[in-house]
Amino acid sequence: MALAFDEFGRPFIILREQDQKTRLRGIDAQKANIAAGKAVARILRSSLGPKGMDKMLQGPDGDVTISNDGATILEQMDVDNQIAKLMVELSRSQDYEIGDGTTGVVVMAGALLEQAERQLDRGIHPIRIAEGYETASRVAVEHLERIAQKFEFDVNNYEPLVQTCMTTLSSKIVNRCKRSLAEIAVKAVLAVADLERRDVNLDLIKVEGKVGGKLEDTELIYGILVDKDMSHPQMPKQIEDAHIAILTCPFEPPKPKTKHKVDIDTVEKFETLRKQEQQYFDEMVQKCKDVGATLVICQWGFDDEANHLLMHRNLPAVRWVGGVELELIAIATGGRIVPRFQELTPEKLGKAGMVREKSFGTTKERMLYIEHCANSKAVTIFIRGGNKMMIEETKRSIHDALCVARNLIRNNSIVYGGGAAEITCSLAVDAAGDKYPGVEQYAIRAFAEALDSVPMALAENSGLQPIETLSAVKSQQIKENIPFYGIDCNDVGTNDMREQNVFETLIGKQQQILLATQVVKMILKIDDVISNSEY
């Protein structure tokens, strides 16, 4: 596309391959954009809630992923349409900022687009619809602030955190173990949390998985788990009160920086070279022994001679440990990463109460547990499962639970789930529509209707009559003026979400509404689409 000017100085656009391009303007462009956004939302709608369905996605190389996490589904989908890509980015933003609610935010955006289409058919200008949506989102966010409840927790009383994480895990494949996984997630977050600053560094929580065992075998390790074993099979498998040398220098003779050539033409010369190499290895191992190290963890490999020497000198070693793992080991054990043997001192050694090698099942796979560390600010969640897909989905579910626990430590306000928050916001926004005399009131009421789509989708996915169920819950909220009534997805027999212990974080719910409104406003303001392909 290029901009040109005619002889009178008037600008016009030159399109390449103009006959192959379609250009949509005005209402046609907006309707095409809305259709693309709704198509993405429709895919995720059936995955919402504890009874939501899972999606199976096959990658280009034949890898299969089964998930009902909105961000994962959209991330793996091959999306060409630019508006559909906006919806993918919307889900990703929710995942990065909050970590949970990635499906709900796309369903909400789809419902807002659907309502906007009806308003466009009435002849309301898209800018007025966008302004009405902005006003309605402010009303909803303020209303959530008013109905939110705070709860107190500490390291010893973390039950409220567990209950909220269980709500997150209810909609995942792993929901049969939601209690144990929620407890693991909360304990992990509390182990690395700075409660004075109300901050959590999730990088200190490592999530590892290994195929085999049951989901119930998932455990929390107060230390680091390394997917390596001792470099020599005869080295001790368990070291108590370990002093760990963490090295990024290899156990091998130094190499000249320039190109070199060594001519060996006699046995004596070869013997001299071999003795010199052995002396290098001797000095390296001796330096580690002299500073009091009882275990060496090295980022690089070492040859058989160095390995043999380490075993004979009774110095267990682990090789080929990744850089990220080395950093976590250094944080957990209070050690320093040493780049040269000359810089190794007793103060730079890490300390751990127990280092043990553990084998799994009938396979020869082994892993290294570094436990009871000097600084327990780094922990590992070790997931077991029947197959790789199960482990990957559990990792994603645990990530969501960790994010929810972190959000609650940052801001301990909660709202009630099961669509209760959306229903009460819908009533508040609908009432606020009466205060606006202009055309915006139609958009505000449309926003209230769009909020109802979340509880309706929950009811639909749970096998209930959606309109009937929503009407009953809504009238119950209005009669009793209690914002805690939601959809009874699990068929417990009560709509009171307090009794069902279904919580969601306030900041997560607010972020959902604000992000969905923001993206819908952007889509409504696009009125010119130029494309190579037909819509």
- In Å, the largest CA–CA distance within the chain is 102
Residues 371 and 332: their CA atoms lie apart, in Å, by 9
Is 65 part of the annotated catalytic residue set?
no
Q: Collapsing DSSP states into helix, strand and coil, what is residue 124?
A: coil
- Catalytic annotation on 488? no
The C-alpha R_g of the chain, in whole angstroms, comes to 30
Closest CA to 333 of 415, 237, 442, 222: 222
Strands 317-318 and 295-298 come out as parallel
In 10 A of CB 527, how many CB atoms? Answer: 15
Residue 352 and residue 276: Cα distance in Å, rounded?
Answer: 35
Catalytic, 434? Answer: no
Which residue bears the tokens 């959209």?
74
Are 45 and 110 in contact, with CB atoms under 8 Å apart?
Answer: yes
Catalytic residue among 69, 95, 229, 488: 69
Residue 464 DSSP one-character state: S
Say if strands 413-416 and 503-505 run parallel, antiparallel, or are unpaired. Answer: antiparallel
Q: Cβ distance 163 to 501 under 8 Å? A: yes
User: Smallest Cα–Cα separation from 192: which of 219, 222, 154?
Assistant: 222
Please choose, from the candidates 83, 143, 98, 88, the residue with its C-alpha nearest in 3D space to the C-alpha of residue 512: 98
Annotated catalytic residue, options 229, 400, 452, 496: 400
Beta strands 238-247 and 295-298: pairing type?
Answer: parallel
Catalytic residue list contains 103: yes
Pick the catalytic residue: 103, 168, 218, 380?
103
Q: Nearest CA to 188 among 164, 207, 213?
A: 207
Write down the catalytic residue from 102, 218, 424, 469: 102
Residue type, 240: E
Helices in 51-158 by DSSP H: which ranges? 70-76, 82-97, 102-121, 126-147
Residues carrying an active site annotation = 69, 102-103, 400
